[in-house]
Amino acid sequence: MQALLLTLLVAGTLLGPATAQVVAQVQDPADGLNLRAERYRAVIGSPPAAGSPAELEDLAILRWNQRSRYPEAVVHAWRFLDRSLSSFDAAVGSDLGKTAPTLVKGLPFFLKRIDGVKDGLKDAVARPRPYVSHPELQPCLPTETTWSYPSGHATWYGAVSLLLADLMPERRERLLQVGRQGGFARSYCVVHYPSDVLASQRLAEAISRDVIASPQWQAFRQQVRPELERLLVAPQAGLPLLTD
């Protein structure tokens, strides 16, 4: 804290009060938010046991996805490969990076803490990826060496959609649609079991509720309020149609 105060004091002295205010705004808005993985262990539950009906259903879906996938849908799945806030531009109807720079700079601080919870849960469950346990499955996205349950991408996209929906309830259904697409792209391309994605959705819902209820999020909400008004100005031709 002393280092932060010294930084702001120096910024105010050398760069002027206005610049010092900008420096203050890019500090971690989630500072003090404490999210512990063990709190969410029961939320995600356990993955289906090997050979169980639930795992057989998982595998049947993945094999169907592999047999039936087509180039345009694979390209669509690749659009969610990078966990980028720009994936939600069309859902909002605005360029998030240009229209809401404070939001775009601050939201990742909350998502980093959510990622930490997800990583702890992955290590605790230690479920191998489907293509590791079942070599006949051929992913159409790059493979990864991390554990499978829950899905990191599905957790991230689910959490972003819910947090943005809290800020912009007018776009809620559109945002949640993108969040779901970002998750199920992982099972479509067989880099995750469907049950990984469903567990991530439960995690995203539970952890987003806790984030939204926190004083850190409420303060951030007030900070970005002026940007939200600009974000909700739709293009003249109207909001774009979202693809499945």
Please write the tens of the pLDDT for every residue from 169-187: 999 999 999 999 999 999 9
Structural contact between residues 149 and 122, judged by C-beta atoms closer than 8 angstroms = yes
- In this predicted model, what pLDDT tens digit does every residue of 127-136 receive, in sequence order? 999 999 999 9
Degrees to nearest 5, angle at CA 110 with 21 and 167:
80
Sign of CA dihedral 62, 66, 70, 75: positive
Task: Give me the chain's average pLDDT, please.
Answer: 90
What does the pLDDT read at residue 6? 35
Q: Which contacts (CB < 8 Å, 24+ apart) does range 84-87 have?
A: 85/160, 87/157, 87/178, 87/182
* Cα 28 from chain centroid (whole Å): 18
Task: Quote the percentage of the chain above a pLDDT of 70.
Answer: 89
Which segments of the chain are extended strands (E)? none
Alpha-carbon span 235 to 239, nearest angstrom: 6
What does the pLDDT read at residue 12? 41
Alpha-carbon span 159 to 127, nearest angstrom: 22
**Model confidence band, residue 216 (pLDDT cutoffs 50, 70, 90):** very high
What does the pLDDT read at residue 26? 58
Which two three-digit tokens encode residue 234? 């739709």
Q: What is the mean pLDDT of residues 199-217?
A: 98
How much is the pTM? 0.88
What does the pLDDT read at residue 243? 80
Sign of CA dihedral 105, 178, 61, 73: negative
Alpha-carbon span 158 to 144, nearest angstrom: 20
Question: In this structure, how many other beta carbons lie within 10 angstroms of the beta carbon of residue 101?
Answer: 14
Alpha-carbon span 5 to 176, nearest angstrom: 39
- In this predicted model, what pLDDT tens digit does every residue of 27-76 receive, in sequence order? 899 999 999 999 999 999 999 999 999 999 999 999 999 999 999 999 99
Whether the per-residue pLDDT at 208 is higher than 70: the answer is yes
- Of the listed ranges 24-28, 141-145, 215-219, the one predicted with least confidence: 24-28
